[in-house]
Amino acid sequence: MKHLIDPTDLSVEEIDGILNLALDIIDNKSKYSEACKGKKLATLFFEPSTRTRLSFEAAMMELGGNVLGFSSADSSSATKGESVGDTIRVVGCYADIIAMRHPKEGAPMLGSMVSPVPIINAGDGGHNHPTQTLTDLLTIKREKGDLNNFTIGLCGDLKFGRTVHSLIKALSRYEGIKFILISPKELKVPEYIITEVFEKNNIDYREVTTMEEVMSELDIIYMTRVQKERFFNEADYVRLKDTYILDKSKLKNAKESLTIMHPLPRVNEISTELDDDPRAAYFRQALNGKYVRMALILTLLGVNVNEG
Ligand code: NCD
């Protein structure tokens, strides 16, 4: 049985398989409409979510399966003091697969150690968010046609942003990618990403503090929200929250072929004036999240509709 806790739990070949399956689902939706008939997905969200939870639920419904779960810790027995391990053992009696989000780093990993069914990490604190990464990879593949040879600017809260940490880890295994890390000095990527990912693998990366100085080089700009809920004090959040706002004027020197991504939710990081720009891929990205989660559920459950 396989879980998905960290994006590198999947090999590059397995990721290719999931992305290709997602592309087949997009082209042949009806072929998959009963693929998970009789199966149940539990979504255990101890932390707020819109896209991740609802796209998981929509994904399972479009596969003909059912969903159950909770959308806040307040409505679970966590409030009575139940441990994550016990919750997972119990929910594993009711569901065939579990997607779980938790504010504590490592909680889904702990859950996976006792789970009788596959566990998917739907975000653990400031650590990882592997299904957002699959979403991002499918988006890059669809927008750019290739997962190799491009320059990506990651902009905003690179310290607490789990989507950024997971995306860097996953992309570090492809060829010819240059990373430009755009953040205020207070919100730089954690040191382990620099040493364990960039330096260890000899990857081309650079840290800068403004988007203007690098805009003309970028093939992709990945904007992120300043992660208010992970700050220790409100004053720091207020001071940093609007450091980067992407708008028409900032795109003056950008490539015509630029792809603008954002895992969403957006606060102020991208002006709504860009929403109709063909380069704005963030709502297409959210849609890709549903298809890639369908592909992931099928893969972890070992369902193959193309087999006799
Ligand atoms: C992200 C998350 O939860 O980390 N949202 C998402 O799942 N699309 C990004 C964020 O909350 O800023």
| Spatial separation of the C-alpha atoms in residues 281 and 262, rounded to whole Å | 8
Q: Is residue 2 part of a domain?
A: no
Residues 134 and 282 placed together within one structural domain of the fold: yes
Residues 236 and 166 in one domain: yes
Judge if the beta carbon of residue 225 lies within 6 A of ligand 1. yes
Tell me the mean pLDDT in the region 39-53. Answer: 96
Within this chain, do residues 86 and 147 fall inside the same structural domain, yes or no? no
Does residue 189 contact residue 181 with C-beta atoms inside 8 Å? yes
Query: Shortest CA distance to 51 belongs to which of 272, 269, 265?
Result: 265
The pLDDT of 73-86, averaged and rounded, is 89
Is the CB–ligand 1 distance for residue 241 below 6 Å? no
For the CA of 286, the nearest atom of ligand 1 = 8
Q: Which two tokens stand for residue 259?
A: 């792809």
Question: What pLDDT digit, counting tens, does each position of 113-152 carry?
Answer: 999 999 999 999 999 999 999 999 999 999 999 999 999 9
pLDDT in the model for residue 308: 60
Distance 307 CA to ligand 1 centre (A): 35
Q: Which domain holds residue 159?
A: 130-286
* % residues pLDDT > 90 (the chain): 95
Query: Are 188 and 108 part of one and the same domain?
Result: no
| pTM listed for this prediction | 0.97
Number of domains in the chain: 2
Q: Residues with Cβ < 8 Å from 18, sequence gap 6 or more? A: 10, 134, 292, 295, 296, 299
- Does residue 108 have a cis bond before it (omega within 30 degrees)? no
Residues 119 and 181 reside in one and the same domain: no
| CATH number for the domain harbouring residue 164 | 3.40.50.1370
CA distance linking residue 78 with residue 91, whole number of Å: 13
Residue bearing the CA closest to ligand 1, atom 11: 265
pLDDT tens for 278-296 read 999 999 999 999 999 999 9
The per-residue pLDDT for 79 is: 85
Q: Let me know whether 144 and 243 are in one domain.
A: yes
Residue identifier of the C-alpha nearest atom 1 of ligand 1: 263
Mean pLDDT of 269-274: 98
- Residues known to be catalytic: 51-52, 80, 101, 129
Atom of ligand 1 nearest to the CA of 135: 8
For the residues 107-117, what does the mean pLDDT come to?
Answer: 97
Token pair belonging to 9: 């739990």
What is the rounded CA–CA span in Å between residue 290 and residue 286? 7
The whole-number pLDDT of residue 306 equals: 84
Distance of alpha carbon 189 from alpha carbon 10, whole angstroms: 23
Predicted confidence band of residue 241 (pLDDT cuts 50, 70, 90):
very high
Residues 159 and 271 in one domain: yes
Residues 110 and 138 in one domain: no
Per residue in 204-220, pLDDT tens? 999 999 999 999 999 99
Phi, psi for residue 46 in degrees, rounded to 5: -85, 5
